[in-house]
Chains A and B, each alone.
Chain A
């Protein structure tokens, strides 16, 4: 066993790129290095605001969301650039590639930060050695500075990466919590915003230490389940796994099925589409996602395969929505040749809670009605503990199909990052 790995426990990295956009710009144009640099929404206009800035600029007091004219007052030599997202995405992709060379367990959190679970990476050296090597490679190969937090879980790793910037590597052990973490203001804690801080302060909880010792039930009353979670975090507890399948890869969910024999019988084909829609809807619901695009795959008897998709500006997750669009695609694109396989995928997924739907003048009233019904159902569901309106839908299945089972399409976002084997 290599030194630095716990007997029963995990080693988690949180890698956080330092003033990412500014760093990418400097890597792109090295003459900017060492200069105070800011990325602003609209540099030509006085009222543009700072999106991010380099450490040199921060040293002069330049802050994110500060209006440009104010920043220029503080730092007259400030270099201001427009954001170039294409450039940032490319850099981000490269940086996750480097992480993926250490382990498959990489969870991208955003364009410039991610978690790694290196518990099983003993063969590559101690955690500190691995972190050093990663930080050096990011710097040497991509010219991008980063801070890495090393801890037994995601929360502590995140807190640790925050402690030394730029180019820090910080190990945060559970036994050091009282010295390192607890004296800090609660607002420093990941997950505590201005509002929560206000509420905590009202309960005389000022430091993370106060929070660690706070009363469970009192906090639950004020902050709900989140309050309980915060106490656990303050005590250094966080069971969340590093999940490569979280945020990003979850762009699509799909199922396909091969028919027992090639067919042009539309009752068979329609009922298969129905069945696939039900499966996809179930998987979406389980994961709490909605999408805007439905893709239909048709494979003909001669293996010629077409995929056709349709995008709508409303959240697609329900069976009827998926089925309706799949039928539409099918009727538009089927050329009446015998079909061997059909597949339905819902794409462009976002978590339902992050979904934004532009309402429509001619349909908002229907929306409101649905909403009201849903509220009633939700209330009854929580009252009875189950949904009294839901009944097991009988799905007419096409003839029990061949050995080939329904397959899920695996669309892995991390494909971009994982090295070729």
Chain B
């Protein structure tokens, strides 16, 4: 293998793939970065086995030459040293070559490094994904979907499947659902016409992977291509591949758990309610569930909280309207704040079905978002 490459580009690519590399992995080869010289360009791969990131530097792009003198080949080098070396080299270009004994030589200006590498054949084989079940979605929509659901995944491993986000595609609509069993967040989006044939049900993507993906894709209206294999999912931007293992197991059926009827419906300013809950939660932080109480009044919601050691607080939030039964309900301020924070619309609709049943929130005139919260039972 041999090539000459623009140092800045190599460094940028390295920074991408380094995000997937962890020093503590069970598989020794994963402490390294895989470098492949292909006729079309250079591909770097980093992985901690849960997620893998591939970054591609094309030989030429928009008439600019990034890589020259490519002799194809591949190698795995220690992630601990390689990026630092590239960062500190003196010139704008770097020449990288390897020999048959997996020795890598890095030359830039007068400096020459020799690094011990390993056979790239030792590196995990990432799945080959078929394009017939891939589809596209805009970057910013994907980022929204992640932000609006991933906070609700479970962080405890007692029910591992709930640490992931359930991706469903049916009838041209893609839905993300996340729940830690105390609250649930759901967001859906219509896919472009070309993808109506795509159907998925039990795809569960680890919450951690999505959070990582969100950091990597930029806010733009570029397209992200998503493909699913048996055991991995691939998110692909122009020059970046992000792969994640899936969670193994059956995601619980959540649709039938979402109440369809409402006994008390409220329309209220999102910000006003959020701030009132936030204030009330100040005094609730000492109690275990961070509980605030909500009580319907004629045209207001009374938000209160009481912690004997600290004090108590009451606040009335004027609503646009309240329909239905009177209601007194307690819930975790944290869950409510999380749910309200992701709603950007001015008004939020809340449907209650009793003090012991889940209630749902969604933005006015937007049924793509649904937040569900289980109340706290007081005796």
Contacts and interface: CB of A to CB of B under 8 A. Distances in A.
> Do A and B make up one complex?
yes
Contacts of B252: 362
A366 B356 CA distance: 11
A111 B311 CA distance: 12
A361 B282 contact: no
Contacts of B299: none
Q: How large is the interface on A (under 10, 10 to 19, 20 to 34, 35 or more residues)?
A: 20 to 34
B218 to A, nearest CB: 31
Nearest to B253: A362
Interface string B173-189: 00000010111100000
Interface residues of B, number: 36
Contacts of A354: 379
Contacts of A352: 379
B286 A371 contact: no
A356 B311 contact: no
A111 B309 contact: yes
A111 B356 CA distance: 32
Nearest to B355: A359
Interface string A335-377: 0000000000000000011111111111010011001000000
A359 B282 contact: no
A315 B183 CA distance: 20
Contact of A49 (B279, B372, B377): B279
B283 interface: yes
Contact of A368 (B184, B283, B311, B357): B357
Contact of B356 (A49, A51, A359): A359
B110 interface: no
A196 interface: no
A48 interface: yes
A353 B308 CA distance: 14
Interface in B280-337: 282-283, 285-289, 291, 308-313, 330, 332
Contact of B257 (A52, A353, A362): A362
A110 interface: yes
Nearest to A194: B314
Nearest to B159: A362
Contacts of A361: 179, 181-184, 254, 257, 358, 372, 374
Nearest to B287: A356
Given A364-B357, A364-B358, A358 B376 contact: yes
Contacts of A353: 379
Contact of B310 (A48, A51, A315, A362): A51
A48 B275 CA distance: 11
Interface string B258-294: 0000000000000000010001001101111101000
A52 B311 CA distance: 8
Choose among B184, B291, B313 the residue with the greatest number of A CB atoms under 10 Å from its CB. B313
Contacts of B310: 51, 83
Contacts of B257: 361-362
A287 interface: no
A354 B309 CA distance: 14
Contacts of A362: 181, 252, 257
B376 A49 contact: no
Nearest to A21: B310
Given A355-B378, A355-B379, A367-B356, A360 B182 contact: yes
Interface string A41-57: 11000011101100000
A368 B182 CA distance: 16
Given A42-B282, A359-B356, A65 B311 contact: yes
A64 interface: yes
Given A361-B254, A364-B357, A356 B378 contact: yes
B300 to A, nearest CB: 16
B375 interface: yes
A315 B313 CA distance: 27
A85 interface: yes
B289 A356 contact: yes
Interface string B45-80: 000000000000000000000000000000000000
A48 B282 contact: yes
A208 B183 CA distance: 47
Nearest to B252: A362
Contacts of B358: 359, 361, 364
B283 A41 contact: yes
A361 B159 CA distance: 13
A51 B311 contact: yes
B309 A360 contact: no
A48 B287 CA distance: 18
Contact of A357 (B183, B254, B285, B376): B376
A353 B378 CA distance: 7
B286 A85 contact: yes
B136 to A, nearest CB: 32
A355 B378 CA distance: 6
Nearest to B331: A358
Interface string B186-212: 000000000000000000000000000
Given A51-B311, A353-B379, A364-B356, A358 B286 contact: no
A49 B313 contact: yes
A357 B285 CA distance: 16
A65 B291 CA distance: 17
A47 B275 contact: yes
A403 to B, nearest CB: 41
A293 to B, nearest CB: 13
B134 to A, nearest CB: 32
Interface in B20-45: none
Contact of B330 (A85, A356, A368): A356
Given A352-B379, A361-B179, A361-B358, 13 more contacts: A41-B285, A47-B279, A49-B313, A51-B310, A65-B311, A83-B310, A85-B286, A85-B309, A110-B309, A358-B289, A359-B356, A359-B377, A364-B357
In the A-B complex, the 7 residue pairs with the smallest Cβ-Cβ separation, listed nearest first, are A41-B282, A359-B374, A357-B377, A361-B181, A356-B376, A360-B181, A65-B313
Interface of A: 41-42, 47-49, 51-52, 64-65, 83, 85, 110-111, 315, 352-362, 364, 367-368, 371
28 contacts: A42-B282, A47-B279, A49-B279, A51-B283, A51-B311, A65-B312, A65-B313, A110-B308, A110-B309, A111-B309, A315-B379, A352-B379, A355-B378, A356-B288, A356-B289, A356-B378, A359-B375, A359-B376, A360-B181, A361-B181, A361-B254, A362-B181, A362-B252, A364-B357, A367-B356, A367-B377, A368-B357, A371-B356
